[in-house]
Amino acid sequence: MQERLIAAWGRYRRKRRRLPQRVTGGVAAVVLALGPAQVAARPVAHAAAGGHPKLTVSAPRTTRSGSVTVRGRTAVRSVVTVSGGVLPAMAVTGRDGTFAVEVGLRPGRRNHLTVRASSGGRRPARRVTVEQRPGKARGRATGRVLDAATRRPVAVATASYGTRTARSGGDGRYTLTGLPDGRLTIAVRAPGRLDGLTAAVLSGGRGQAADASVQRRAAPVRVGPRGGSYSGKGWRVTVPAGAVRKRTGLNLTPLAVTGMKDAFGTGVLDLSPDGLRFARPITVAVDPGAFGRDPARTVIRGLDSGRLTVTTPRTRVVGKEMVFRLDRLGGLEVRADLPETSSGDGAFDIMVRYRRPRWESGDLSGGRGGLGGTSAAVGYTNGSGEPGTFLEVPGSRTPGSFLDTAPNDLAHTSTGSDQTGVHVYPIRS
């Protein structure tokens, strides 16, 4: 449920059923997600730290679980990132230089994971391959598909994990069967809407998926042979003359906050339909400043949430904008991401941008329609409860304190920033 703001690095237990592979490399994980906010782990540069100079990584070669724990050791207080799974993972090594990160796997295939540690100017990297073999999995998970704007149920949506699929009913609910245990990423597709992602955790063959938010695709603009220019908050799309030979529908959908996909970066714009080709490349310009970002510290990503692939278009900075060109659309969600860190001792900031908080609790917390029950807490924790390892913002668990109807709601205040709605929490070891 998206009812808590947690940014955590943790210790995970793993049962070793097979001899793990060991290489020299690194890893880490930050759990982001929650409520109507955009969350980013913002690295902070520091001097290099001492400790273990080499990066060692251990992971099983095969697993029937939907996720795997990658373990290793490198320099103390290093920032470790893992890519190649379903979602990127990031964390910070402990005082002894060790780390353990749970990574969601792409089902039924080999997952080539890249583990990279950053400590001062050093960035050692190693690769490990983990094959996910679902076998005769018999687990089941229930979930619900909701409209991202209205929070109303979405019927006739298809939820899928690998080859397993299920369709939502009139109440938006679905049940997926034949699933393995572990942390799974479920893809959701509905007619007239952008693809969505949600997470489910299965144990003992049973699990509950978080609500999946899917956004309605914007109505198409009609582009003719003369081309045209279109713009919105933080973006501009220019179609040159001769790009299309006849009047063509082009969907330009500003991206809303929908949860898991925001781990790939702040949502800017979705361009569709998939497969549309241009005789002359179109130009896409993104203004990171509109989202509280510095162009010099921003990377533009292209997310295909249906295929779970990420591309990095070649961009150039023109004034305050980051500009790139496209000659074909392929499930492209344009997102403004942070570059990989090269910080030394693992220090970073958690930056959250709130727009319009309109709900504060979920069904599993006794709420109905996003209200009532146990209200959400805002802050972060590493789960230990030790002093200096957690923060709970005043107003947490108090009904109505964070909604956009409150006098000091999160969207109209700020923390550590001069921008309204932006809250920055420094993490220092």
- Segments of the chain assigned to CATH 2.60.40.10: 1-133+347-429
Q: At 285, which helix (H) or strand (E)?
A: strand 277-286
Contacts of 180 (CB under 8 A, 6+ apart): 64, 65, 66, 107, 132, 134, 135, 137, 139, 202
Using only the alpha carbons of the chain, give its radius of gyration: 22
What value does the mean pLDDT take over residues 153-168?
95
Domain boundaries for CATH 2.60.40.1120 within the chain: 139-214
Residue 2 is predicted with a pLDDT of 35
Half-sphere exposure of 116 (CA within 13 A, CB side): 15
Nearest alpha-carbon partner for 5 in 277, 335, 309, 352: 352
Cα–Cα distance measured from residue 217 to residue 85, given in angstroms and rounded to the nearest whole number: 27
pLDDT category at 357 given cuts 50, 70, 90 is confident
Strand order in the sheet with 125-132: 62-63, 125-132, 110-118, 79-83, 89-92
Q: Is a pLDDT exceeding 50 seen at residue 157?
A: yes
Q: Please state the φ and ψ torsions of residue 297, each to the nearest 5 degrees.
A: -120, 35
pLDDT score of 365:
67
Model confidence pLDDT, tens digit, residues 127-144: 999 999 978 889 999 999
Residue type, 182: G
**The CATH number of domain 1-133+347-429 is 3.90.1200.10:** no
Amino acid at 87: L
Q: By the 8 A CB rule, do 209 and 224 touch? A: no
pLDDT (0 to 100) of residue 418: 46
For residue 21, the model assigns a pLDDT of 47
Domain 221-254+265-337 has CATH 1.10.340.30: no
User: What is the average per-residue pLDDT within 147-152?
Assistant: 89
- Token pair 């619900």 in the structure block, residue: 144
289 against 402, higher pLDDT = 289
Which residue has tokens 């489910």?
200
pLDDT reported for residue 310: 84
Percent of the chain with pLDDT over 70: 73
DSSP string, 10-77: --------SPEEEES----------TTEEEEEEE-------EEEEEEEEEESEESSSEEEEEEEEETT
State the span(s) of the chain assigned CATH 2.60.220.30: 221-254+265-337
Q: Please enumerate in sequence order all residues whose Cβ is within 8 A of that of 318, keeping only pairs 6 or more positions apart, or say none.
A: 285
Give the model's pLDDT for residue 411.
72
Evaluate if residue 4 carries a pLDDT over 50.
Answer: no
- Comparing 33-37, 189-193, 283-287, 307-311, the range with the smallest average pLDDT is 33-37
Three-state secondary-structure class, residue 133: coil
The residue-averaged pLDDT of 309-332 equals: 90
- pLDDT at residue number 73: 93
Q: What is the model's pLDDT at position 53?
A: 58
Q: Which of 153-167, 287-301, 369-383 has the lowest mean pLDDT?
A: 369-383
**pLDDT of 14-52, one tens digit each?**
333 333 444 433 222 222 223 334 344 443 333 333 444
Average pLDDT over residues 297-316: 86
In this structure, the dihedral spanned by the alpha carbons of residues 204, 31, 254 and 332, taken in order and rounded to 10 degrees, is -70
Q: Does the structure show a pLDDT above 80 at 244?
A: yes
Mean pLDDT of 361-367: 68
List Cβ neighbours of 100 (8 Å cut-off, separation of 6 or more): 10, 11, 12, 14, 27, 69, 70, 71
pLDDT score for 309: 82
Taking all residues of the chain, what is their mean pLDDT, rounded to a whole number?
A: 78
Q: Kindly tell me if the per-residue pLDDT of 327 is higher than 80.
A: yes
Q: What average pLDDT does the segment 5-16 reach?
A: 34
Which residues 6+ apart lie within 8 Å of 319 measured at CB?
none
Confidence check: pLDDT of 331 > 90: no
> How confident is the model over 55-64, as pLDDT tens digits?
999 999 999 9
Amino acid at residue number 331: G
Q: What is the pLDDT of residue 272?
A: 93
Lowest mean pLDDT among 73-77, 129-133, 382-386: 382-386
240 vs 30: CA distance, rounded Å: 42
Q: Which CATH class is domain 139-214?
A: mainly beta
CA–CA dist 420, 413 (Å, integer): 5
Average pLDDT over residues 343-350: 56
**Mean pLDDT, residues 87-101 taken together:** 82
The token pair at 267 is 């949502």
Q: Kindly tell me if the per-residue pLDDT of 350 is higher than 80.
A: no
The pLDDT of residue 395 is 67
The pLDDT, as a whole number, for residue 341 is 46
In which band, very low, low, confident or very high, does the pLDDT at 1 lie, cut at 50, 70 and 90?
very low
Residue 363 has pLDDT above 90, yes or no: no
The neighbouring-strand residues paired with 424 are 351
Q: Which pTM was predicted?
A: 0.67
Out of 263-267, 302-306, 319-323, the most confident range is 319-323
Give the SS3 label for residue 297.
helix
Minimum mean pLDDT among 17-21, 247-251, 293-297, 371-375: which range? 17-21
